Homo-oligomer: A and B are copies of this chain.
Amino acid sequence: MNGYQVENVLVRDTFAEAFSVTGTRLIVTAATPRWAEIAASEVTGYGTSVIACDAEAGIEVRLPAEQTPDGRPGVAIMLYAFNQESLGKAVIKRVGQCLLTCPTTAVYNGVEQVADDKQLPLGKQLRFFGDGYQASKGIGARRFWRIPVMDGEFLCEDICGTFRGIAGGNLLIGGESQAAALQAAEAAIACMQECPGIIMPFPGGIVRSGSKVGSRYAGLRASTNDAHCPTLSARSESHLAAATRAMYEIVIDGSDFNSIQQGMRMGLRAACQQSGVTEVSAGNYGGKLGKHHFHLRDLLDKL
């Protein structure tokens, strides 16, 4: 794979390939910023890849009180799944298990315009937990449920909207050591967390188990990307630069092409400036599986 040098970093001439998915956005508020954070962390946990999780989930942005519907501290989260049906199942279970249960929280739809056929039930279904004691209230065109719980009431919007988003945007960051590559990925994540419209669903936003399609074992559809494993450079054709001794991937899901591209741009720029970074790249499947392509060259052209 070709590339070009930007100071000490080899920038591969390649692109990230991403897929269309269905997404939603919720706003979780609580009595304190800490409880909003705890709630958001639990409800988006175990939500790294739709290959095995029911959804890809993460925190989009922290919201100070003046930016939330009820004037309390909040967090906006995003969840993505293959289609609206599977997303709906994941959302109702996650909200029921992790937010209905969580001290002081309330939940609001966070999608701006909600078409009639792009709705997921939220309070509409969870209200039955109230056993007849729940009450609805309408504010303008929006409807909310007040469900009695032991610390007062769980306020929950009737429905949330969905949208057609993109999953699988990605960056690869190689470094001269594991620690250097990790520091650079952390610096990239810190920038990308400030970008609206995206989440990085893996632990701490970072993945180390890059995969290739297929496997020598029957029935396994993906396996380790041996060309990117530094310990295999003597046994397998390596695609790593000679100086690269560890690589991390950042996977990005988002509401639209531009949000993901801007997140990748911020992450790439941050990564390239960290010491010990050897190369940056991106993952794709030859461009045939996913219809969204993010070329690194476009990101750096606009530096």
List, in ascending order, chain B residues with CB within 8 A of A128's CB. 215, 217, 220, 223
| Contact in complex: A149, B73 (CB < 8 Å) | no
Q: In the complex, which range does the number of interface residues on chain A fall in?
A: 35 or more
In the assembly, what is the distance between CA of A272 and CA of B72, in Å? 10
List, in ascending order, chain B residues with CB within 8 A of A203's CB. 38-39, 41-43, 98, 101-103
Q: Tell me, yes or no, whether A163 is within 8 Å of chain B by CB.
A: no
- Chain B minimum-CB-distance residue to A29: B187
Q: Tell me the chain A residues, 101-148 only, with Cβ under 8 Å from chain B.
A: 101-104, 128-133, 147-148
- Chain B minimum-CB-distance residue to A178: B151
| Contact in complex: B147, A230 (CB < 8 Å) | no
Q: Is the interface of A mostly helix, strand, loop or mixed?
A: mixed
Q: Which of A38, A222, A225, A275 has the most chain B CB atoms inside 10 A of its CB?
A: A275
Number of copies: 4
Q: Tell me, yes or no, whether A290 is within 8 Å of chain B by CB.
A: no
Q: Tell me, yes or no, whether A94 is within 8 Å of chain B by CB.
A: yes
Q: Which of A72, A147, A272 has the most chain B CB atoms inside 10 A of its CB?
A: A72
List, in ascending order, chain B residues with CB within 8 A of A51's CB. 97
Can you offer 22 A-B residue contacts whose CB atoms are under 8 A? A31-B182, A41-B45, A42-B45, A44-B45, A45-B47, A46-B98, A64-B191, A65-B191, A66-B269, A71-B273, A73-B186, A101-B209, A102-B203, A102-B204, A129-B220, A131-B215, A132-B216, A148-B231, A148-B232, A149-B209, A150-B209, A151-B247
Given contact pairs A45-B46, A65-B188, A66-B269, enumerate 7 new A-B contacts (beta carbons under 8 Å): A31-B183, A31-B275, A32-B183, A52-B93, A104-B178, A132-B216, A147-B224
Which of A's residues lie within 8 Å of B, judged by CB? Answer: 31-35, 38-39, 41-49, 51-53, 64-66, 70-73, 93-94, 96-98, 100-104, 128-133, 147-154, 176-183, 185-188, 190-191, 193-194, 202-204, 206-212, 215-217, 220, 222-226, 228-232, 235-236, 246-249, 266, 269-270, 272-276
